[in-house]
Amino acid sequence: MKCMTWRGNNNFSLDEIDIPKIRPGMCLVKIHTAGICGTDIHITQGLFPSPENVILGHEFSGTVVEVSQNVDKSLLGKDIAAHTVGGCGKCESCKRWTKAHCEVNRRRIGGFSQYVLLYEQALSIIPSNLSLENASLTEPASASLSCVEMLKPPPSNNTAVVVGNGLLGLFTIYFLKQIGIEKIISSEIDNQRRNLSKQFGADILVNPIEENLTEIVSSETNGYGADIVVEAVGNPKVLEGCFPLIRPRGQMLLVGVNPKGSKLPFDLYEMHRNEISVFGAFGQGNSFERALNHLPNMPLTNIISGRYPLEQLPKIIQKSANLEGIKFVIGPND
């Protein structure tokens, strides 16, 4: 089979290797679609830790082509979306935190390849009204859903600000509306992304280069600040600008992946005095299946900006790094 191996920095090699041999408790999946994520870009830029010489790609869908002896045979031939962990459901971390923190089943990626071996628990059968291509969006959707589910907004008269309208920002806007946030202010410098935020439920669209976001948030909240502020860029400088937007006892959600080693870029005295809660928000938690069932109802028009063969992955990662499009996907078996 063909796979694209990451060799450090911007280097990849297109390799021909054996299809993985089936192992107990696992299923072989033929990959239909694998999305390119901001995290893949950060890995090639050295901003997100990853071992070298691995096959990247953690947002994918495909078809089960082989199952091991002890796995439910009815999975054979099913179209699935893949959870990167697929928690065992039995260990302390699965039971007490979330399945994404499983101690037994290790995180498995490898979407930029024709086939991948996955734990049975990592597979969710896609609903009949969802395409295999859109099902590859389940991983980012579940990350947004799981993050939003950590929040405790006031039941009414509430406001949220979402800074950054890449895919995670857009999905977060959608799920904030689902949990009953009445007024959502989106802030994004790119016109295409900002306009898409409306389709996901944003009420007020701000271009922070041309407008003063802090003043707009203040006037939209009677001078108090927003109940919830989401940073969906992953940039300490942007995060610093988010802090003044929060009301006392407000909540800040860090959906964007900041570079490893970066520190909280705001006044910790003010954080203490204003009793601000900060939520780190990385993964799918226990929300993968629910996110998958939301996807058929989500406004996904114009979200997938292009589909490319495996050979073009290095070029398309560069294209994504230049913030062209919203989500580029790879079809390794096209």
Nearer to Zn ion, 142 or 186 (CB): 142
Q: Is the dihedral of CA 59, 63, 66, 72 positive or negative?
A: positive
- Kindly tell me which of 91 and 321 has the beta carbon lying closer to Zn ion: 91
Q: Are 28 and 64 in contact (CB under 8 A)?
A: yes
Tally of CB atoms within 10 A around 212:
11
SS3 label, residue 16: strand
Q: Which CB atom, from 19 or from 41, has the smaller least distance to Zn ion? A: 41
Q: How far apart are CA 28 and CA 23, in angstroms?
A: 9
CB 104 → Zn ion: shortest distance, Å?
Answer: 5
* Half-sphere exposure for 40 (CA within 13 Å, toward CB): 33
| Ramachandran angles phi, psi of 124, nearest 5° | -125, 125
Calpha distance 112→109 (Å, rounded): 9
The β-bridge partners of 202 are none
For residues 112 and 136, the answer to whether their CB atoms sit within 8 Å is no
CB of 16 to Zn ion, least distance (A): 27
Closest-approach residue to Zn ion (CB): 37
Query: Is the Cβ of residue 22 or residue 104 nearer to Zn ion in the bound state?
Result: 104
Residue with Cβ nearer Zn ion (84 or 197): 84
CB of 148 to Zn ion, least distance (A): 16
Choice between 39 and 146, CB closer to Zn ion: 39
Rounded to a whole number of angstroms, the minimum distance from the CB of residue 58 to Zn ion is 6
Binding site for Zn ion (CB under 5 A): 37, 39, 87-88, 91, 94, 102, 104
CB of 127 to Zn ion, least distance (A): 21
Shortest separation between residue 60's beta carbon and Zn ion, angstroms: 10
DSSP reduced 3-state for 169: helix
Residue 51 CB neighbours (<10 A) = 8
Beta-carbon contacts of 170 under 8 Å, excluding residues fewer than 6 positions away, are 193, 196, 197, 200, 303, 326
Query: From the CB of residue 128, how many other CB atoms can be counted at a distance below 10 Å?
Result: 7
Return the structure tokens found at 37: 């994520």
Other beta carbons less than 10 A from residue 293's beta carbon: 14
Distances (CA, A) of 155 to 162, 180, 182, 185, 299: 19, 7, 9, 18, 25
Closest CB 23 distance from Zn ion, rounded Å: 17
Tell me how far, at minimum, the Cβ of 91 lies from Zn ion, in Å. Answer: 3
Q: Which helix (H) or strand (E) holds 40?
A: helix 38-44
Closer by beta carbon to Zn ion, 1 or else 88:
88
Q: In whole angstroms, how close is the CB of 257 to Zn ion at the nearest point? A: 9
